[in-house]
Amino acid sequence: MAHNETIRREFAKQAASFGDRGLTLSSHEHLTWMVGILPLASDFRVLDVATGTGHLSRAIAPHVRQVVAVDVTPEMLDKAKEEAVRSDLDNILFEEADAAALPYPDASFDMVVSRLAIHHFEKPGLQLGEMVRVCKPDHTVAIIDLLSPADKSMIESYNRLERLRDVSHTLALTEGQLVDAMASSGLSVQSVDKREIAVDFERWVEMTGTNFQTRDRIKAELQAELRGGAKTGMRPYMQEGTLKFLQTWCVAIGTRSSAKTAGKQRL
C-alpha cells in the first residue's frame, strides 16, 4: 500500500499535463499502432487497467461496446472523465480501483489491457494475475509497456535513471521477463510487437515535475554518454540542438488459456 501512495502522489502531480500535445504518451500515431494490434470486436466489454487519463480507453472506445477504465489516482480519473466528455464518448465507465485487487468477478471482460503501467508495480505478477482472473477464458490480455535494454549490463543504469526522474518507477522488464511474467500468470503469449519511441528529454522531466538538481544529474549522464562515456541504456542523441533518447515500447498479446483462475505470481 505504501507504493500505491507514492503512485497517487506522483501521478496527481502529472495529471494536468498528461494530455499535452507532443508527448509520446498522448501521440495519436502511437495509439493508432497499439489499437491496430488489439483484436477488438464491436460487442466487447474491455477493462483498461491503470488507465491514467484514459488515452488508450478513448482510442479503444469507438471500436467496442464498453470500456471500463480503472486507476488508483483520483486526479487522473477526473482528467480522464473530462477528456471523454470532450471527445463525446459515452461508453467509458471510469472507476477508482487498485490493479492488485480488481473489484470484478472472474471472467468479467472480453479483453483486458494495460498501458505504460507495469513498470510502476512493485510485484507485477500480482496485477497480471488479477488481469487474467477477470478476463474470459480464451480471450486476450494485452500489456503495453516500455522495456529495459536486452543487454544485462545496462538494466540497472537504465532503471536507476528512470527512478531518479519518477520515484514511482520500479522496474521496466526486459522482453523475456515480460513474456515469462505473462506466462506465469496464466497467459499463452501470442505476439510481442515492438517500436522505438523518440523522447524529448526536457518534456520528459517537465511532465513529472522532476527537481532541477535531479534533471541536471540525469542530463549530465546522458551527455557524458554522448561524449563516449559509460552507456546508460537510454540511447541519447542530439537532434537540431535538442537532447533526445530512445525507449522501446511493446504490445504483448496473451490469451487466457483456460477457465482456471490464474495464480497471483510474485515477480
pLDDT tens-digit map of 34-58: 999 999 999 999 999 999 999 999 9
CB 55 within 8 A of CB 33: no
Q: Which three cell numbers stand for residue 37?
A: 494490434
- More confident site: 10 or 238: 238
CA distance 244 to 265: 36
Q: Which fold has domain 2-148+168-198+247-256?
A: Rossmann fold (3.40.50)
Average pLDDT over residues 109-131: 97
Average pLDDT over residues 97-108: 97
**pLDDT given for residue 163 in this prediction:** 97
**pLDDT given for residue 262 in this prediction:** 46
Reply yes or no on whether the pLDDT at 8 is more than 70: no
* Residue 15 pLDDT class (50, 70, 90 cuts): low
Q: Which residues does 14 contact at the CB level (< 8 Å), separation at least 6? A: 207, 208, 209
Q: Where are the domains of the chain?
A: 2-148+168-198+247-256
Q: What is the pLDDT of residues 241-266, one digit of tens each?
A: 999 999 999 999 999 987 554 444 43
Average pLDDT over residues 218-239: 98
Q: Which residue has the cell 487474467?
A: 132
* Residue 2 pLDDT class (50, 70, 90 cuts): confident
CA distance 145 to 140: 16
* pTM for this model (two decimals): 0.91
* Residue 21 pLDDT class (50, 70, 90 cuts): low
**pLDDT given for residue 266 in this prediction:** 37
Reply yes or no on whether the pLDDT at 108 is more than 80: yes
